[in-house]
Structure formats: structure tokens, C-alpha cells
Amino acid sequence: MYNNVGQSNFFGYTDFSTFKRLETLNLGGNAFTGCIPEDMWAPPSLKALYLYGNKLSGSLLKQSLCGLKDLQHLDLSYNEFGGTLPQCLGNLTSLTFLDLHNHLEGVFSFNYSSLEVIGLSSNKITFENGWISSFQLRALIMQDYGLESIPEFLFHQFKLEVLDLSHNKLKGRFPYCMTYLNLARNHFEGDLLFSAGDDCKLIALDLSHNNFSGEVPERLLSNCISLSYLRLSHNNFHGQIALFNLTRIADLQLNDNQFEGTLSSLLTNFNHQSYGPEVLHLSNNRLHGEIPHWMGNFTRLEYLNLRHNFFQGQISCQLLSTGIEYLDLSYNSFSGLLPSCSNGNSLRQINLQGNRFSGSIPEALLNISTLNSLDLSDNELSGTILNKSGENLSGLRVLLLRGNHFNGFIPNWLCHLNDVNLLDLSRNSFSGSIPHCLYNLSFAREGEGHLYDTPFSDKLFGLVIEYRGSKETHLDNTGLFEAEVDEESEFVTKYRADTYKNKALNYMSGLDLSDNNLTDSCINLLHNQLTGSIPRSFANLSQIESLDLSYNILSGQIPVELIDLNFLEAFSVAHNNLLGRIPDMKGQFSTFESKSYEGNPFLCGTQVRRKCHDDNDEPSPSQMESPQEASGKWYKIDREIFLASFSVTFIMFFLSVIIILYVNPYWQQKLIYHTRRHLFSCYYFSYDNLVKLFV
């Protein structure tokens, strides 16, 4: 009998012990809370119990659990169990699979004769010194365990197929005798010492995020012919690398090293094959050359990242027709026209930033209906953007075109991008007015689904453990490989350009049209020639975090409704013709300094140290000076009062000098003496220079 309880929440309320012949009970992947009941709640006939992925807590020292002596599979992983590992679990002598991924402590000294799979991740369970197990494991998972050395008992395990010791502090040497080996995110350093012989059985090897250096051993690349998943990213490897006999490779990640060479030399044995890898991640290296034309034959290729290398040449339509979904060629030296292909209908994300592409955007590129991210920024593209319907790009979430030479009007089809999060057209030569329909775009989090929801992570492999009514444990590692990739876009927010990666992009939103030749009455742009008043409708952008309207010709008052923008962190209306009272220092407006308002001589308020003179907060025209005359002033001058006070002061000073000279004859003689002396000096100086000039 097999029960698989889905999302119903009745754990602790149903007595499963009444099912006398129940053998498998799966309550995993729910949100059950509380503790395992003390009383017997499951029948003794139970052979497989899955409680993974809940929020259960408390101790495991329960007779109701330790009394299930016929259990063969016990999965308590991904809960909140704590305390000491109960020794009564040693009574479960029939166990073949045990996963205790929680926060347990204690000593593991159980000698299950049939145990084949152990999962102990994130615990603080230790092993007795000199303890040698009586079982031969097929899989051991000890992630995030704080290990500083390979456990001694592992050297007596001769049937290991899967070993995951990632996220630890391991150093030194390690075995290669298994088929799946994950040692990512440890403290290994120095040269990679590879000792496997001609019978190398490795299928998956992950050594990423360590400090390995030197060259990759040739024996690894030539002897391990079954290797399908190879991850050496985020190390300090250098030199050239060639896959030699690794023609079965499905996932190759060598990013963030110092590898050199070309793609032709790296994939030397793939030039006549039609399958090739599914994931090819080579970013942040020193690779160069062109993309070989025969890579267009890789029908399995889904992810290609060559970011930050020295590649050049053009992109062929054949490459885009492979079924590829993610293409990142940013920050290289690719040039020429963008490919005009009608067969790239699998593409979801294209990043060509920081190259030297020229010409216009081909219509075929704007007809890829699956596309949700397009980054063509910082190239040499020019011309106008086609004014098309935009229906094919209705699912686009990111469109970055900044730093090119586009001109003409902003096309109206951009208004149909209802799900767009990031739209950047800055640093171009667009002219005319902004399409008013852009105001209807939410630029928020209302789009359905996530932009980056691919199953990419740092998980090397997954185990499907299936109980089939016998003591044999079936390991299924196929189809569960998850690739670790970086999906990133660069966007200017809060006056600086930042790169946002992976799921962080799901929470980003923004519109940047700065540094163009646009003219309009109401828009959020800096360094343009916008006129008119700031629209009160900006207050409806409840999620906005940065609003910069500086260096325009905006007039009128700052809408008080903007106080309600609770997420606003950067604000500037500097260098406009705004007037009246600045909104009260409430909410986020209490954080903005005077530089946010400088260059507006008719604004008043405590922020600019300028008192408002009346309740209307708007100076009358008779009181106003021109912006040129009043620039930089924080005070007002009454002309009549100024002339009167100046005249009185001058008369008083003159009379004071006369009185002093009259009262004191000595100072009077000194003044006459110095006056005559300076007059004679000036006379003779002028006379001598005039004689020299004309003689």
C-alpha cells in the first residue's frame, strides 16, 4: 500500500497505525509543524517513511520512531530537528537509506549491515576515532558539515558511487574512485593532483569555488571518458585546456579562471559531432578567437556564456538555431551586424553588451516570441528602432539599449511591453516627445512568474531514492543535474551602474531615458530639456526607489503627493525653475539633503535655508528676480532699504575721517605727506614711461 499525502495538513491528527498493512508513507514536501508524536502513530509494518521538507522540530528520541524496526528507508531531511542523535535509531537494523539533514549533534556509531545511503548534511554529528563501519556505502552526502579532513572511515568504503562533501573546509588530497564527486566550496589549493588510472569511472566532478592553481591534468581530460559534468569554475587554473576524449560532456563550466586558447582547441573532438554540450560556461577567462561555425551543429546546446573574454568575429545564424535558450557574449570584441535570423525561437535571454556591433536592430531579432531579456547596451548600433506591433515581445521583461547611437522617435510598441521590469534607452540620440502610453507601464512586480526561474543552482546531482519493495536501494542520478550559471544585467540606479545577478533581477524595476535629446512636459529624466511641471501622477509609482529630474527646465511646484513614495531612496530636482514650498520633511523626504534642490532659486523651506514668505508658498512676480540674477541666493534684498543704509553708512564714515583729522594735527600732516609723495611718484613714473615710449 502506498500513500502520498500532498498539501493536506493533518499530520498529528490522523492515526496511521490503523493501516495494518501500510508499507510506504510519504508526507514530504508539506508545511507540517510540531514534533513527532510520542505514541505509536504508524504501523510496525512500515518500511519506508518520508518526512522531508517540512517544519518539524523537537527531538528524535521517540519510541514511535525507534520502534519501526522494519524500516528500510527513513528520510527526515530539511526539517528543524535538533538535540542529540538518539542511539535507539541503532535498533533500525534493516535501514538501507537514512537522511538526517537537520541540526543534530552526537556520535554516529551505528553498524547497519545493509545501509547504502547516508545523508548527514548541516549536522554536527561526529564519528568515533578508529570506527570502521560494517556497511559498504553507495552514497554519502555531508554538505556544510564543517569538515576539515576526509573522515577516516571513508577510506574503507570500496563501493562508493556518490560522494558529496561540498561546503566544508577540506584540504589536501581526495579519492577519485567514485562516479559522482562533489568537493565544491572547500579550501583545496595548489595543483590538482589526479591519480585515477585508465579505469576512471567519473561521471560528474565538481571542484568549483576552491583555490586550485596550475594546469588541469591531462589524464583527467583523456582517461575519464565517461565524464559528463565537469565544473572547475572559480579557481586559479591557467594554461590551455582541451577535452581530448571527453566527447560525452554535457555540462562544462570553466568560468572565472585564467584559461587561454580558442574554442576550436578546447572542443577539439567536437567539430564533427551533432550533440555537443548542453551547458558551456567559459566566462571571465583569457580565451580568444572566433566561435567555430560547427558549434551551430550542437543540437543540445541550451546555455552559452563567453562573457569577459577576448573573442571576436561575427555571430552566425546557425548558432542561434541550435535550440539555445541563454546566450551571453558580453564584454568581448564581437563586431559586424547583428544576426538576422528567423530560427532563434528558443532564445529567452540575449546579452551582447560591451561589444562593437554596428548597424540597426534586425526585425527578426524583435520577433522572437520567447525572449524575455535583451541587452544590446554599449555597442555601436545606430539608426531608428523599427515601429512594429510589439506583440511578439509582449513577454519581454528586460530591454537594455543604452550607450549606442540610436536616433529618431521612441517607438510606440514599447508601450505593449506590459511585463517589462527594466527599460534603459539612455545615452543615445533619441529625439521628440516621450510616448505618453509609457506612463501606463507599471515597471513593477506585477508580471506573472519570475524572470530567472531556471533550475540552475550549485547542486551537482540529485538522488531519486525509490523503495520498490526490496532491500535494494535504487539510485537514479539521470536527468537531475542542475547547472550553476550566472544570469546578470547592468542597470543604472541611484546614480551608479550596478550589475544585478540571478533572482535579484526579479525584484528590480526601472526606466532610464537620460542623456538623449528628448523634449516633453512630464517625465522622469535628467540632463534633457524637459519643460512644464512635475506630474502628480508620479505619486502612483508606489515602488519607485530613485527619481532624478535634475538639469531640465521644469517649472511649478514639487507635488506634495510625492511624500507618499515610501521606497524612494534617491531624489533630485536640482537645476530647474521650480518654485514654492518644498514638501515637508516626512517619510523619505526627511533623508534628502539640500543638494537635491540646488539651482532652484525660488524654492523655499528648511531644506534650502530659505524662508517661505506667505501661505501660498509662491512668490509674486513683482518679488521675483530672474534665475540668472538670483542664482545661488538664499535671501531677498529690498532696493530702497539697501540704498538708504548704504548712503547713511558712507556719510558717517566720511564725517568720522574729517573729525579725526581735525582733532589730531599729527595724523593730518602725515596724511598730507603721504598723499603728496604718492602723487609725485605716480607723476614721475608716468613721465619716464611716456618718454621711453616716444623717443
* pLDDT single digits (tens) 300-312: 899 999 999 999 9
Q: Which of 107, 485, 86, 503 is nearest to 303 (CA)?
A: 485
| Residues forming a β-bridge with 57 | 80
More confident residue, 507 or 614: 507
pLDDT of residue 617: 44
Output the nine-digit C-alpha cell for 171: 584540504
Are 221 and 241 in contact, with CB atoms under 8 Å apart? yes
* pLDDT single digits (tens) 215-238: 999 888 888 888 999 999 999 999
* pLDDT single digits (tens) 565-617: 888 888 889 999 999 999 988 888 888 888 899 999 889 988 888 888 764 44
Residue 373 has pLDDT above 80, yes or no: yes
pTM, entire model: 0.72
Residue 622 has pLDDT above 90, yes or no: no
One fold for 20-135 and 493-604:
yes
Identity (one letter) of the amino acid at 405? H
pLDDT of residue 474: 45
Answer yes or no: CATH 3.90.70.10 is held by domain 493-604: no
Residue 630 has pLDDT above 50, yes or no: no
| Other residues' Cβ atoms within 10 Å of the Cβ of residue 631 | 13
Q: Which long-range contacts (CB under 8 A, 24 or more apart) does 520-526 make?
A: 520/433, 520/434, 523/434, 524/548, 524/549, 525/549, 525/552, 526/550, 526/551, 526/552, 526/572
Q: Which of 240, 238, 246 is nearest to 277 (CA)?
A: 246
When mean pLDDT is compared across 102-106, 107-111, 523-527, 594-598, the lowest value belongs to 523-527
Residues 435 and 11: their CA atoms lie apart, in Å, by: 56
Domain ranges of the chain: 20-135, 493-604, 650-692
For helices 665-694 and 639-663, angle between their N-to-C axes, nearest 10 degrees: 110
Architecture of domain 20-135: Alpha-Beta Horseshoe (3.80)
| Residues forming a β-bridge with 214 | 237
Are 420 and 397 in contact, with CB atoms under 8 Å apart? yes
pLDDT of residue 484: 52
Q: Which of 347, 343, 340, 352 is nearest to 372 (CA)?
A: 347
